[in-house]
Amino acid sequence: MNIIVVGLSHRTTPVEIREKVAFAPTEMEKPLRQMLALSTVNEAVIVSTCNRVELYACTRDIDNAIVQLRCFLADYHNLDNAVLAPHLYDYYGEDAIRHVFRVSSSLDSMVLGEPQILGQIKTAYAYATEHKTAGLILNRFLHKAFSVAKRVRTETSIASSAVSVSFAAVELARKIFEKLEDKTVMLIGAGEMCELAARHFVSNGVRSVLVTNRTFARAEKLADEFGGRPVPFAEFADYLPQVDIVLTSTGAPDFVLSAEKAEEVIRRRKNKPMFMIDIAVPRDIDPRVNDIDNIYLYDVDDLQGVVAANLKERKKEAKKAEMIVEQEIGQFFRWLGSLDVVPTVVALRRKLEDIRRSELEKTFGNLKGLDEKERKAIEALTAAIINKVLHHPTLLLKQSSNDATSDGYIDAVRALFNLETPNPDNEIKPLDHFDGEGKRSHG
């Protein structure tokens, strides 16, 4: 059995095509069942996010399954296959395992180390479990992917530093103030990045939020969203002495906070530190404010410098993460290879043992004078011959389960010894339920 991946991502496809092949999260049953109904597909999972759409499947027919899945993706969304095909990639075998381990560990994400993709794959797996399209192999595979992602987060620092301008502001504030729980934030203006940074501060526990804007209704609306208090724009400077962190992005042509006013504010604060984040272009705060003791002023370029340094650090950690992925691939690939090898070895031994017993019965029927000791000696001799004959083929099959020759050897052994092809009705089906360890159970 083989694992294959067919899909597209931000690396291969513009957003105008990605949005056309996205699957609605509330309507996953239909596409999952259609995917499972393909003649080459035994198990199915669909991952659909804003940055990628991927189909995970189990199959015994790699080439035809890839063709069917590519056509399914185009047909389901009423797209011309010729238009979609150049954007698609496909992986199978060890490459498929590597790809999914890397994706779940956020090594293939637009923002290296972001945590959202793991949750999105878990959600995709939950849909497949709910609609009974994932069985033994994808169950074991995705649980392994989750554990690999956990190892990466535990054993590396790939997600420990901010790589967005808005979150970098929070990271810097923590270095200045150590804790944020007793701090007050003022949001000046309604720029998108400024608002996003404010959301990060709120989620990190700041005590209170003041919001001011030239349009007071907008200030009221934002304050309501943050559980804060609106402040008239003409009076915001009067509130600054009670503020620890200032976020500003007004779009004003001139400075809204001068160095002279900032000096007055810090005196009224009795020199308690202030952190000011000016994300506006052109700038809202006079850059001379940075020369005032106990005021820490950062503009958008400063924050982008922090982001760039953090991204560089994440890339270093990504090398450690890639090593973890490579370590884990071999272990899972060996397990996957053993799924076909073990039944073949068992069937081969059973076939030769049946022949041995049948021939022994004929021989003992013609040799009436044998005593028990002689019969046992002949049985032991024939059993030893069978073991000798089976030793090398068994060893070769087990060794081949670790590489690409496995299918060839299995097919050859089954053909040479006329072994019965596994009955699909006896195989583990995705309609059965499996626990997290890949064990079969019936609900």
Identify residue 45 by its one-letter amino acid code.
Answer: V
CATH 3.40.50.80 fits 165-308, yes or no: no
Local structure of residue 207 (DSSP, 8 states): S
- For residue 282, the model assigns a pLDDT of 83
User: Which of 123-127, 154-158, 342-346, 402-406 bottoms out in mean pLDDT, i.e. has the lowest?
Assistant: 402-406
- For residue 163, the model assigns a pLDDT of 60
More confident of the two residues 114 and 104? 104
Mean pLDDT of the chain: 85
Structure confidence at residue 309 as a pLDDT band (50, 70, 90): confident
- For residue 436, the model assigns a pLDDT of 34
R_g of the chain computed on alpha carbons: 32
Give me the mean pLDDT over the 120-130 stretch.
95
Tell me the helix, strand and coil percentages in the chain, rounded to 5. Answer: 60, 15, 30
Return the closest-CA partner of residue 201 out of 183, 219, 225, 215.
183
Q: Which residues pair with 9 in a beta bridge?
A: 52
User: Which of 217-231, 234-248, 420-434 bottoms out in mean pLDDT, i.e. has the lowest?
Assistant: 420-434
Q: Which two structure tokens, joined as six digits, stand for 415?
A: 């053909």
Structure confidence at residue 41 as a pLDDT band (50, 70, 90): very high
What is the third-level CATH fold of 2-159?
Answer: Beta Polymerase; domain 2 (3.30.460)
pLDDT digits (tens, 9 = 90+) for 349-389: 888 888 888 989 888 888 888 888 988 999 999 989 988 88
User: Which of 98-102, 123-127, 134-138, 166-170 bottoms out in mean pLDDT, i.e. has the lowest?
Assistant: 166-170
* Catalytic pick among 50, 58, 71, 194: 50
Give me the mean pLDDT over the 431-441 stretch.
34
Judge whether residue 147 has pLDDT over 60.
Answer: yes
Judge whether residue 393 has pLDDT over 60.
Answer: yes
185: phi then psi, degrees, rounded to nearest 5: -110, 140
50 is catalytic: yes
> What residue spans define the domains of the chain?
2-159, 165-308, 338-427
Residue 94 CB neighbours (<10 A): 17
- For residue 370, the model assigns a pLDDT of 87
Cα 78 to Cα 70: distance, rounded to the nearest angstrom:
12
Q: Which two structure tokens, joined as six digits, stand for 397?
A: 């099959």
Cα 283 to Cα 252: distance, rounded to the nearest angstrom:
8
More confident of the two residues 397 and 284? 284
What whole-number percentage of the chain has pLDDT above 70?
Answer: 89
More confident of the two residues 87 and 174? 87
What whole-number percentage of the chain has pLDDT above 90?
Answer: 49
